[in-house]
Amino acid sequence: MTEKIALIMGASRGLGAAMAEALAPDYHIVAVARTTGALEELDDRIQAKGGKATLAPMDIINKDAMAQLCRSIHDRWGKVDLWVHAAVHGAPLTPAGHISEKDWDKSVAINVTAMGVLIPFLTPLLGETGHAVFFDDPRGGAKFFGSYGATKAAQIALAKSWQAESVKTGPRVSVVQPAEMPTGTRARFFPGQDKDALTHPRDEAQRLITELDL
């Protein structure tokens, strides 16, 4: 049986890590994130369940690193069956008139520019039958969410264009809105929020896998 490959961007924590762990019984996980220690902990959990993972401690804004990653995947497996894009930068909340250049540039680089690089790199690996999954967050236009909301909206607009373009040719492109979860990003936006009122990433990962038939 041909091994199925799932590429998870933003796999070190939150929904990305939960998706990687939940998918591991059926896929070889290629886990991408900047935090090596968190990736190693994910690998331990995957191996404990009998799964396999390849760790790629990389920054998605590094175009050369992403090119090398995709080349390595091509040379080893020749394909990607599933791409789950959970990498995101949540800039601090601030009025639009006080957005720092550093936060804006980082938001654009991670949430937008990287997408413009990754989609062309991964389209040939996904082919006609692969599946790409993106996570929407409808905060564009909400007060104080200028950097995050605008760049996340741009990311999803690009994903939806790709989705419309690939309906007849593939790959399959899904854009879904996850439940509210107690992630690090959300904690920065809503400090002190009652975590018990939120959906655990493990539960949300299982729901999405079922909903999307992954």
Tokens for 87? 């990498």
Per-residue model confidence (pLDDT) at position 213:
96
Distance CA 205, CA 199 (A): 10
CATH of the domain at 67: 3.40.50.720
Burial (CB count <10 Å: 0-12, 13-18, 19+), residue 59: middle
Residue from 137, 156, 149 nearest 103 by CA: 149
Per-residue model confidence (pLDDT) at position 175:
98
Q: What is the pLDDT of residues 177-207, one digit of tens each?
A: 999 999 988 888 998 888 889 999 999 999 9
Domain count, the chain: 1
26/2: higher pLDDT: 26
**Model confidence band, residue 2 (pLDDT cutoffs 50, 70, 90):** confident
Q: What is the pLDDT of residues 24-34, one digit of tens each?
A: 999 999 999 99
Q: What is the pLDDT of residues 66-125, one digit of tens each?
A: 999 999 999 999 999 999 999 999 999 999 999 999 999 999 999 999 999 999 999 999
**Model confidence band, residue 23 (pLDDT cutoffs 50, 70, 90):** very high
Average pLDDT, integer, range 3-11 = 97
Q: What is the pLDDT of residues 32-42, one digit of tens each?
A: 999 999 999 99
pLDDT reading at 1 higher than 80: no
User: 11: domain range?
Assistant: 5-212
Q: What is the pLDDT of residues 127-179, one digit of tens each?
A: 999 999 999 998 889 999 999 999 999 999 999 999 999 999 999 999 999 99
Residue from 143, 198, 208, 124 nearest 174 by CA: 208
